[in-house]
Amino acid sequence: MESASNPTAPRDRMPGAIGPRLAGAALFAGLAGSAGALHAQVDTTTVAELERRIEILADELELLRSGEQVQALTPDEARALGLAPSAATAYAQESGASFAGYGEMLYENYSGDKTTQFDYLRVVIYAGYRFNEHFLFNAEIEVEHANETFIEFAYVDWRATDSVGLRAGMLMMPVGLVNELHEPTVFIGAERPVTEQKIIPSTWRENGAGLYGSSGPISYRLCVVNGFEGASFSSGGLRGGRQKGIKAKASSMAITGRLDYSPTPGFFVGVSGYRGGADHGELTAAGRNVDATVTIAEAHAQLQVRGFDFRGLVANATVGDVARLNQALDLSGSNGVGETLRGGYVQAGYDLLSQTLSDVSLLPYLRYEKVDTQAEVPSGYQRSLSNDNTYFTAGLELKPLPEVVLKIDHAWVTNDADSGVNQFNVNVGYAF
């Protein structure tokens, strides 16, 4: 008897009325067998790869239809944009609005007669809108000390390509490790390093426009902004000279830029700088205009690997025509603005739980820092020994979740004037 799967079985050998039906069945079975043989010849790996690609395309199409947020940027991707992870939320949108934020409160217990302080430092909302793949708006709106409202940054961004973009609005100065990356879950310590408060006056933002981008391991930013308000400088540093975008005087402009090299995830080194006028044509002394040009240069490095966290920074700032500036501000003796300001720190920590499968992090850390806001003064002025300080900080950082942090530390402060005030700090922060 012929096999039913043989398509060549002659119909005249199939008797009576069932012959045509058997012939049809034989034809169908034969076609199925041929298809099976053909499928067996196809590389199963190729089929699996095609199926995988179809699934990816289907998922991406569904995201486009739903408008849902795509995967968040990595910390390194966000840093290349000059933003902390939560601040970069708008860049992870295909389109539409975005919402994120952070906050922190700080308890400070001082030695001596200084009053203990408990401050809700800030509550911050990031609000952004992605118009399309090239244009977006991004902003940080902050309430400080529970009663002061500020805009930390607000700009329109044109991402011309994946590696080049333009920004205009209120911009964060791309200087140092903390100024751009100032979320409490990102920097180590209950308080920001003193160098990045007095030499680099974080959080530091001004109005202007800039260029940013990246190519492989290189990222850069270059901005033109309004200059400092030199009339608000003091012997304690440049911090008072920030204009914060509030009807900022712009007769004296400045340029600031940054270059980072990141050969591998978790490691980068770089330099940044700032140079611009701070007089705005308004300061005079002895019948002459003051040319208070400010120059800041710094170098930094950060390494995070296998639970270890190392960070370091050195910064130097100079103020031009500072003798005449001090005369214009009626500052004398040791109260004058410094001609040169210097600071730097090294910091190290290790996550004791880094080799476990838990998301919990427990990181003891140490920081050594020196800051002198009157490293050099003009002739006729004196340095104040109380402005040349050494800080040694030891602390512990606990993250029960990557987005929530508790930081406890103690800072010992010394100087040749014996006026250093030690302090114990507790910080609770979050970012989302």
HSE, side-chain direction, 13 A CA sphere, residue 356: 8
Q: Would 105 be classed as within a structural domain?
A: yes
User: Does residue 364 lie in a domain region?
Assistant: yes
Domain presence at residue 35: yes
Lowest-pLDDT range, 25-39, 106-120, 234-248, 297-311?
25-39
pLDDT of residue 175: 98
Please say whether the dihedral angle defined by the alpha carbons of residues 277, 281, 286 and 288, taken in this order, is positive or negative.
Answer: positive
pLDDT classification of 43: cutoffs 50, 70, 90:
low
Q: Are 53 and 181 part of one and the same domain?
A: no
pLDDT at 20 over 80: no
Q: For the whole model, what pTM was predicted?
A: 0.82
Pick the closest to residue 212 from 269, 243, 265, 173 (CA basis).
173
The mean pLDDT value for 298-327 works out to: 97
- 3 falls within a domain: no
Mean pLDDT of the chain, nearest integer: 88
Say how far apart CA 428 and CA 432 lie, in whole Å. 14
Look at residue 400 and tell me if it is in a domain: yes
pLDDT at 22 over 50: no
% pLDDT > 70, the chain: 85
pLDDT tens sequence across 367-426: 999 999 999 999 999 999 999 999 999 999 999 999 999 999 999 999 999 999 999 999
Query: Do 49 and 81 belong to one domain?
Result: no
Same domain for 36 and 92 = no
Number of compact structural domains in the chain: 2
State mean pLDDT over 248-253.
97
pLDDT tier for residue 183 given thresholds of 50, 70 and 90: very high
Same domain, 48 and 111: no
For residue 187, pLDDT over 60 is answered with yes
- CATH code where residue 201 lies: 2.40.160.10
Is residue 41 domain-shared with residue 134, that is, in the same domain?
A: no
User: What pairs with residue 270 in β-bridges?
Assistant: 260, 300
User: Residue range 161-176: average pLDDT?
Assistant: 96
14 DSSP 8-state letter? S
pLDDT at 162: 85
- Measured distance CA(331)–CA(234) in Å, rounded: 9
Residue 24 lies in domain? 11-65
| Residues 51 and 77 grouped into a single domain | no
Q: Left (φ > 0), alpha (ψ -120 to 50) or beta: where does 249 sit?
A: beta
Asked whether residue 61 falls in the same domain as residue 196, the answer is no
In a domain, 6, yes or no: no
What H or E segment, with its residue span, contains residue 34? helix 18-41
> Does residue 271 or residue 6 have the better pLDDT?
271
d(CA 423, CA 22): 96
